[in-house]
Amino acid sequence: MRRSQVDAERFQPEQLLRSHVAALASYTPIHPFEVLSRELNLPVERIVKLDANENPYGPSPAVVEALAEYSYYHIYPDPQQTDLREALSGYIGVDAAQILPTHGADEMLDYLCRIVLDPGDAAINCPPTFGMYSFDAELNGATVIDVPRDDDFGVDVDAVEATADGGRAKLLFLTSPNNPSGNWLPDEQLRRLLALPLLVVLDEAYVEFADHSSRAVWVTGHENLVVVRTFSKAAGIAGLRLGYAACPAWLMPHLWKFKQPYNVNVAATVAGLASLNHIDDMAYVVGKIRAERVRLFALLHTVNYLRPWPSEANFVLCAVRGRNAAQLKADLAAQGVLVRHYNKPGLENCIRVSVGRPDQTDRLMEALRSLE
């Protein structure tokens, strides 16, 4: 049978694209574990993966058991996520009616941009910080206004206030503890920022590791605050993709209209519920990671070419002195130790090391010392 051919002169497929999408820079994917193992010619067990702030202990045995025992994987998930929202309400102290679970915190960040930002609107970003805020805002045709952090990675509140006064910005992204610096956004600063006529998105992906408490409950008193959380870090199920947000009541009907009915899959739901039903297991693992962070920080301090920053999260950012951080990352990778490298404004010649198990810290230290 002859296939009809589209007229090649008249049809230029790329012209179908929305112009801001065509203009976007390409995404650089990370290499999956198995690919790295092949590239480095090392078995997966020999790789010390400290480059993505994952939880080295994974989910608790109770979660693994709940996943193994569940027998309704052939049935669609509950689009209203009733049980999960109830359990989350008990965990974070916010009414279930103001909580929305998502396919990772990343999905919530994208939803918020898509719900609020028209092409031409602006979002305020405070770099150096998590890369998805600017990615999602730009994906939605918005302009990202960067208000750089100070030398200690604090938010420049005066500059954010001055920028917000310009009127074009609708969203403000904040992160506490911040990724990749690990510092906390103090209450007084958050209060000042919440006085701005913007939707403030406070990303608390790492809050369980912090020395301070979550501000999720603040959503009841602040109409312009959304607090985004995740099961990827403390609960150790990054691969299952489960996040959620505590939102002001007025936003919820719009999120319900907007969200994909089955955005959270059944396995993530089962694992999330089991994590919340065994919260002591999660607290135990968080305690181990916090203790290891103290040890890791002290050890990194003893490496003559590193300057670590104190962190309230499950990672430590280090300035690299007198040598090239990209080369250091490559040299560590050659020994099977993976860390994240940065070289951009505010993060010149840096590496970020996730907090692993004690044996992983030992492998990292061995590799760092071999390069002294």
Q: Which residues contribute to the site for ligand PLP (CB under 6 A)? A: 53, 104-106, 130, 175, 179, 203, 205, 230, 232, 238, 243
Is the Cβ of residue 67 or residue 303 nearer to ligand PLP in the bound state?
Answer: 67
Answer for the pair 244, 100: CB distance below 8 angstroms, yes or no: yes
- Nearest approach, Cβ of 19 to ligand PLP (angstroms)? 28
Is the Cβ of residue 81 or residue 232 nearer to ligand PLP in the bound state?
Answer: 232
- Nearest approach, Cβ of 103 to ligand PLP (angstroms)? 8
Give the residue closest to ligand PLP by C-beta.
104
- Nearest approach, Cβ of 257 to ligand PLP (angstroms)? 22
Is the Cβ of residue 235 or residue 337 nearer to ligand PLP in the bound state?
Answer: 235
Is the Cβ of residue 87 or residue 368 nearer to ligand PLP in the bound state?
Answer: 87
Is the Cβ of residue 55 or residue 60 nearer to ligand PLP in the bound state?
Answer: 55
Angstrom distance (rounded) from CA 209 to CA 176:
11
- Nearest approach, Cβ of 238 to ligand PLP (angstroms)? 5
Helices 325-334 and 358-370 pack at an angle, to 10 degrees, of 120
- Nearest approach, Cβ of 230 to ligand PLP (angstroms)? 3
Angstrom distance (rounded) from CA 355 to CA 164:
36
- Nearest approach, Cβ of 109 to ligand PLP (angstroms)? 7
Is the Cβ of residue 98 or residue 176 nearer to ligand PLP in the bound state?
Answer: 176
Angstrom distance (rounded) from CA 353 to CA 339:
5
- Nearest approach, Cβ of 229 to ligand PLP (angstroms)? 8
- Buried b / exposed e across 256-290, counting CB within 10 Å, b at 16+? eeebeeebbbbbbbbbbbbbbebeebbeebbebbb
Q: Write out the E strands in the chain.
A: 48-50, 99-102, 122-125, 143-146, 169-175, 199-203, 225-230, 243-246, 306-308, 315-320, 337-344, 347-354
DSSP per residue, 269-306: HHHHHHHHHTHHHHHHHHHHHHHHHHHHHHHHHTSTTE
What strand order describes the sheet that includes 306-308? Answer: 48-50, 337-344, 347-354, 315-320, 306-308
- Nearest approach, Cβ of 232 to ligand PLP (angstroms)? 3
Could you say which DSSP state residue 244 is in?
E
